[in-house]
Structure 1
Amino acid sequence: MKIKYLFVILLIIGTVFSSVRAKEFAPVGTAAAQFLEIAQDARGTGMGQAYTALVFDASSVFWNPAGIVGVNGKGIFLGYNQWVADINFGSFSFAWNFGSAGAIAISGVYLFTSDMDVTTVMQPEGTGETFSLNNHSFGLTYARKLTDKLAFGITLKSVREYYYSYGYTTWAFDVGTVYHTGFRGLKIGMSIQHFGPEVRYNSSYIDYSNPRSYVDGNPVRFDKFSLPVNFRVGFGMNVFQEENQKLLVAGDMVHSNNNLEFYNLGLEYAFKNRFFLRGGYRINLDEGGLTLGLGVKFPWLDGKNGAIDYSFADRGIFNGIHRFSIGFDL
């Protein structure tokens, strides 16, 4: 049963990763593929993104790939939010659970905008050209129960990011575990997200702060950037439960190569396991903190369930973020 040590190994990896980053300055906003950091699921975001140990449906691929072992047969997830500056963001996942053979899922996230004017230093009013953003990532996930309490999952995904004629295509992977303690529904989860090679935007540019580049017209290559690697560890448990209602609390710690360490706290009140009120708070972030959400679960297709969720997240000086998602079993 060497596999039983997998949970401990992930914790050690995350601890080493955290200690290395702690010796450096706070590298806020220094990674590529920032769109990978945008959360998808309205239930999770309504709970302050304290979701690493709680998600067991098709949306698990965006938080902790081990969670798809909880899919009831087949599951579908669709999500949408309008990000700041009229940036649109969508996501989907389809998961199949084969029981003892494990579960698989395919997923995608995509960011897009309307057309924007191209401007340059020499033509600040516009060149007459337009461009739009069209960034996306597609993944394949496999997860399996290692014991009746411990599950493991991994996602391999492509990542494509382009701005006008500058961009790159690369790969990355996520890995995660979740452990059911059996005490008051307590679950502990860990995941490492977006681990992959450094990337460099193709093409080159004129550096107007460098006289040699500007006067001689010598283009400069872009530097290499890392992907936004996150190590997440979290818990979730029922602190109050009766026949028709229960209260769930959750917390996550997130250590990133792209930000300061921050913490997520969340609550979910469930009435008759059909109607849900949620709240959360994100600590040690420059913008935003408070999150709110609600959801409804409904029966359909011979005992299967569907769910519609909504969340609102404060973004400080920016407009609040509204998210909608729907998921259902097949």
Structure 2
Amino acid sequence: MAKRFLLAFPLLFFLFFTRSGQAQEISAPKYSNEFLNIGVGARALGMGGVQSAIVRDATAGFWNPAGLVGLPKRHNVSYMHSELFAGIIKNDFGSYATNLDSTSALAFSVIRSGVDDIADTRRLQNEYGAIQYDSIEFFSVADYAFLASYARRSNWLPGLTLGANAKIIYRNVGDFASAWGFGLDAGAQLRRGNWQFGVMAKDITTTFTAWKLNPDELESTYLQEENSFNTNSIEVTLPRLILGAGRSFQMTDRFSATVATDLDITFDGKRNTLLATGVVSVDPRVGFELGYSNTVFLRGGINNIQQFENLDGKGSWKVQPNFGVGVATHGLLLDLALSKVADNSQASSLIVSVAYSFD
């Protein structure tokens, strides 16, 4: 009876918040805390962000905390840096993960996505209309997430691992505004021979981010436009479900391969995805990895399948290709990836990751 309850509880729990999210569809934005959906790690992004079933390293705290049970060594550290739009947007990720024992693991992760050195020219002219360049100030707009992750191997189903995240969100817009938020994620992975399956439920409790505006910095601008504003507001992030499956192949003594797919399911109305209804949208992703002697890796993946309207009024589908390579030796792993490859090269992103595992 207890096992049946444990199997049914996650489904009932998620359905409850799915229905709650549908009720809030009108007031909740579709793209809240979207910096948490960019992704982390060059290996993952080189595979199109397909990780929920196959992740087994220090980035698992982000992709699926249940994967922390498969850490290669007792201590695991990882760092990633990437830039978008000619270096304007900078994304950084760092994590530390450790095996507590043979059945459980713990990880701490930090994410930052921001634009720095933005010029504030509101005071460029003095009261006489003269230009004063020394009055220009600079500020940053940055989003932060702090994740504490825990994973444990199940005792009642072989190959099953369970994990959860507690995350704190901090968003800052210079001296103009700031926000704090809190949310929970839950994940599971199941291994059956060469097959791997995963499920990741993000923001299962619905994440609320409370914004506080600074009236001293913004009031003059709003008064010029004859608008009023509230100094406090709440931003809601609705639940999201990711289902994944992957399979590993040992082709020869030296060559191996992994093929995986994820289905990113949102419940906040129709999005520009391959499968979309008025309530649910499904964004599929596919990725692969070829390995040689567990030392050299070649990766690829496609995601972000969207429909665009051409100049002639006809629609066409486009996909986002991703590529990556990796080298591993003596616990050190260096990964490079090229993601967000588009017609506009300024939108492409080069991701660099370094990871180290040791006992």
TM-score, length-scaled by structure 1: 0.83
| Residue 188, structure 1, aligned to residue 205, structure 2 | no
Aligned partner (choices 138, 142, 162) of residue 134 of structure 1: 142
* Equivalent position SS for 1:243: coil
Supply the distance in 1 between the matched residues of 2:304 and 2:142 (Cα, whole angstroms): 31
Residue in structure 2 matched with residue 289 of structure 1 by the alignment: 320
Residue in structure 1 matched with residue 263 of structure 2 by the alignment: 253
Residue in structure 1 matched with residue 166 of structure 2 by the alignment: 156
Q: CA deviation at 1:149?
A: 0.4
Measured on the aligned residues, the alpha-carbon RMSD in Å equals 3.3
| Residue 312, structure 1, aligned to residue 322, structure 2 | no
Q: CA deviation at 1:118?
A: 2.7
Q: Which runs of 5+ in 2 are unaligned?
A: 126-130, 272-280, 308-317
Q: CA deviation at 1:272?
A: 1.4
Q: CA deviation at 1:29?
A: 6.7
Q: 1:82-120, CA deviations, whole angstroms, 9 ceiling, x for partnerless residues?
A: 123611111111111122451111111112332112367
For 1:308, the aligned partner's letter is L
For 1:234, the aligned partner's letter is G
Does the 8 Å contact 2:29/2:237 carry over to 1? no
Supply the distance in 1 between the matched residues of 2:54 and 2:320 (Cα, whole angstroms): 20
Kindly, what percent of the aligned residue pairs are identical? 21
* Equivalent position SS for 1:247: strand
Residue in structure 2 matched with residue 175 of structure 1 by the alignment: 186
Between 1:191-200 and 1:134-143, the stretch displaced more is 191-200
Supply the distance in 2 between the matched residues of 1:4 and 1:242 (Cα, whole angstroms): 41
For 1:323, the aligned partner's letter is I
Aligned partner (choices 205, 210, 235) of residue 245 of structure 2: 235
Residue in structure 1 matched with residue 117 of structure 2 by the alignment: 115
Supply the distance in 2 between the matched residues of 1:23 and 1:224 (Cα, whole angstroms): 16
| Residue 79, structure 1, aligned to residue 80, structure 2 | yes
Q: 1:273-325, CA deviations, whole angstroms, 9 ceiling, x for partnerless residues?
A: 211111100143478610000111112xxxxx221111111353442111111
Question: Which structure has the larger Rg?
Answer: 2
Supply the distance in 2 between the matched residues of 1:107 and 1:4 (Cα, whole angstroms): 33
Supply the distance in 2 between the matched residues of 1:328 and 1:228 (Cα, whole angstroms): 34
Does the 8 Å contact 2:259/2:288 carry over to 1? yes
Between 1:45-54 and 1:240-249, the stretch displaced more is 240-249
Residue in structure 2 matched with residue 97 of structure 1 by the alignment: 99
Does the 8 Å contact 1:10/1:190 carry over to 2? no
Does the 8 Å contact 2:244/2:263 carry over to 1? yes
Does the 8 Å contact 2:181/2:210 carry over to 1? no
For 1:296, the aligned partner's letter is V
Supply the distance in 2 between the matched residues of 1:4 and 1:238 (Cα, whole angstroms): 30
Residue in structure 2 matched with residue 244 of structure 1 by the alignment: 254
Between 1:195-204 and 1:232-241, the stretch displaced more is 195-204
In structure 2, the CA distance between the partners of 1:11 and 1:44, relative to structure 1 (3 Å rule), is: farther
For 1:274, the aligned partner's letter is T
Between 1:241-250 and 1:190-199, the stretch displaced more is 190-199
Supply the distance in 2 between the matched residues of 1:34 and 1:20 (Cα, whole angstroms): 20
Supply the distance in 1 between the matched residues of 2:26 and 2:160 (Cα, whole angstroms): 34
Q: CA deviation at 1:132?
A: 0.8
For 1:310, the aligned partner's letter is L
Q: Which runs of 5+ in 1 are unaligned?
A: 300-304
For 1:45, the aligned partner's letter is L
* Equivalent position SS for 1:199: strand
Q: CA deviation at 1:231?
A: 1.2
Supply the distance in 2 between the matched residues of 1:119 and 1:4 (Cα, whole angstroms): 62
Q: Give the 5 Å matches for 1:49-88.
A: 49-71=49-71, 72-84=73-85, 86-88=88-90
Residue in structure 1 matched with residue 313 of structure 2 by the alignment: none
For 1:60, the aligned partner's letter is A
In structure 2, the CA distance between the partners of 1:103 and 1:24, relative to structure 1 (3 Å rule), is: closer
In structure 2, the CA distance between the partners of 1:293 and 1:14, relative to structure 1 (3 Å rule), is: farther
